[in-house]
Structures are given as C-alpha cells and as structure tokens.
Amino acid sequence: MAQKIRPTKPLQGVNMKIQKIGIITSGGDCGGLNAVVKGTSQMATQKKIQTYAIPNGYAGLYNLLDTESLVELTPKRIDTFSIGLAGSEAGHSRVKISKIKNPKKYERIKEGLKKFGIDALVISGGDDTGSVVEDLDSHGIQCVHAPKTMDLDLMPYSVGGDSTINRIAFFVRELKTTGRTHNRVMIIEVFGRYAGHTAFRGGVAGEADCILIPEIPVDWDEVYRHLKKVYIKRICESDIRAGTYTIVVAEGLKNSSGEPIYDESAGVDTFGHKKLAGAGKFVAQEITKKLSADEDIKLFMEQTGMYVEDLYTIPEVRTITPSHLVRAGTTLAYDANFGMTAGANAVNLLLKGLSGVTVCGNSGKTVYYMETHEAIKQRHVDLDEVTLFEQLGFCFGRVRSSYEPECKKTYGPIERIY
C-alpha cells in the first residue's frame, strides 16, 4: 500500500520577497509540462509575482547573461497554449551544469538571473534535472523542483507518467489488428531505462501477453513456453485461423545474466548515460531463433495451412518502436491536474522560503514536499504486484510466482495510483 508522503521538515513561516520567478523545463518532453508552466504562472499572478519562461532548459539558464529578452508569462500569454498539449512551451535541453568547464559558471548564472531580476526558479524535470536542482541550491540559487518523468521512477508521482501509459496501451491495442491479420508476433519497445513502470502499466492496460521490464532478468525459455502455448491456442481456436501474440519490452531490458542490452553504436547523452537501443530487436532475434529450432512449429504451420517451404516456415516476428510518440501529442486528465497543482505549489513553497525541495502533492491546504535528493532516488516496480498479474495470465519473462495476499482494512483512499 502506498504511504502518504509527509513533509520532511516543517514549512518555514518566511514569506520571501519574491517579485519574479523563472520557469525551466528540462530533460525529456512529456505530457503535463504545460500544466506545470500554467499552474506556476497562474499562482504567481495571484500572488502579484511575474513569471518568465527561461527557454532551452539549463542551456538557457547558463546563457541568460547573453540573452536579450525573456517572454513574460502574463495571463494573456499563457492563454495561448493548452494544458492538454504534451511537450513544453518553455523548451528543453539535456545539459548538466556541473559538467560545464567554465569555472565561473555559477557566478555567470547568478549574473544572468540578476540581469532579469529573477529571484527564484521553478524547475520541472526528472532525476537528472533534480540533481541539478540540488546543485543550484547548494550554490545559493533558490529553486523548487516539480517532478517530471514519464518513466515514473522518482519517489513521488511525476507528470508524464499517466499520459505515457495510456499512449502505450493505445498502441498495444491498435497493433493487435495488424498482428491478428498476419498471425504475427508483435513486439513493442517502449521507454524505461532502469524501471519498467510504464511498460508494466501500459502493457497490462493494452492486454499484452508478455511484459518484459528491467527489474526482471529474462528467462527466454519461459517467454517462449508462454508464447507457444498462447499463440497456438488462439489460432487453433479461431474459425479463420487468426491470432497474434504481443510483447511489450522496456528499453532497459536485462538478459538472463542481469546485463542490460545496449546498442554500443548509440553513444551516450550529456549526462553520461548510454543511449539505450535495440531491446525490441534483441527480443525478436531470441524468439525467432526458438521458433526456427522448434519442430512443433513446423507441424503447427502445416496443420493450419500457413506453411510454405523456404518462404513461410515460422510465424513472422515484428518489432515496433513508437519511441517519442508515447510522450508526444496529448496530456491526459491526471497529468493535467497534477501538473497544475505541482506548478502552483512550487510557488507556494518558494514563498515559504524553501529551496532544493520537490513538490509531492497536496491534500486540501496541506502541501507535501521532499528534499530533492530523496525525491530523485530510484523507485522500481513492486514485484509483489507483478505476481498478482502473473496469476491473471500475463507473462513477465520468469516462472510464475505464487500469490498469497495479506488483506487489511482501510479507512480512506489509497492515494498513489502508480
């Protein structure tokens, strides 16, 4: 059961004389960011504070000193974009301030902020962004972190997660039409470097047959056993011999040895992380090898009228990588709501004199937050919950575990959805 997030320290009764706030969105784009921008601006307006978009993420912050002007997010300006749109009106970049070689980089940033009279920052991003929030705070720059990551691997809920999960589920469901038409095994590779929350939830919502996540090293024999059983059953029970099998795989997939699967040619990003690529292709290769070596499959293909010597000897295995389509386009209602409140409460925290903290949410008039170094700790998929879905027929690339739940009475809602 999710626990209610409590403040890590009491709100200070210090109303800082903040007149201007800069808004930064950083890292990858996703649903909910425009809601953060609007929530911040609208709350600031109510507090008689001006807000400005600092474009291009941390790169824009570093280059403020050379910037001629900033866009003020007046009520008229923020009315020009919708919280229902994914992406960010402020723009992004992947830049780690501490890696900039200029020894006077922090002085340069402070001078840039002073140039525009900006007193504090609201910064929305994930774990890498959060680490820079800590860095800026330690150098005397007041800032509050509004959590954002579609991977949902931060401690608090983060904007982008629900929108991405729904997009993944949509693509999984849609691809079943082409999979069933051609009797294909369909593999959908999605984001998820260290944690498989979106693959897990999106795969379940899209009723994928198999979901492979970084938390569970893959037992290929178990994946193939499940695939063979389900796929053959579907086609044999169909009056027109039609069926498909769907696998959702997170990009951070680990082989049976526990090693991540990298495409070394993809390189690294500016934070030093290897760019993940090739998990879906790798799964397709493993499945194809097993299908090709299985004499039962040849017999099955012959009995169902699919076998053509040298041309069509095993079911087709196709890999689809929707990539940025799962984080683009539309923000769904949960992220729109959370983003607005996260932005608004970031302003409230700044006005209480807080810095280097992450907004976690609110209950009524109580605003909850965490120290940012705590908020950006990795949160992984609960494998006990995976066990529940294994009982319902989903395969997670391992031998199914037993599920014996402990039942407890509750007197209120369980707050965490994801």
- Residues involved in catalysis: 151
Between CA 61 and CA 95 the distance in angstroms is: 10
Between CA 129 and CA 147 the distance in angstroms is: 9
SS3 of 43-87: HHHHCCCEEEECCCHHHHHHCHHHCCCCEECCHHHHCCCCCCECC
- Judge contact between 291 and 232, C-beta under 8 A: no
Main-chain dihedrals φ then ψ at residue 112, nearest 5 degrees: -65, -45
Tokens of 415: 């707050």
**378: three-class secondary structure by DSSP:** coil
Which residues, other chains included, contact 2 with Cβ-Cβ below 8 Å and sequence gap of 6+?
A: 414, 415, 416
Greatest Cα-to-Cα distance within the chain, rounded to the nearest angstrom:
79
- Judge contact between 212 and 153, C-beta under 8 A: no
Q: How deeply is 103 buried, as exposed, middle or buried, from its count of CB atoms within 10 A (0-12, 13-18, 19+)?
A: exposed
Q: CA separation (Å) from 259 to 9, 252, 312, 379, 404?
A: 39, 9, 33, 19, 30
Between CA 20 and CA 138 the distance in angstroms is: 21
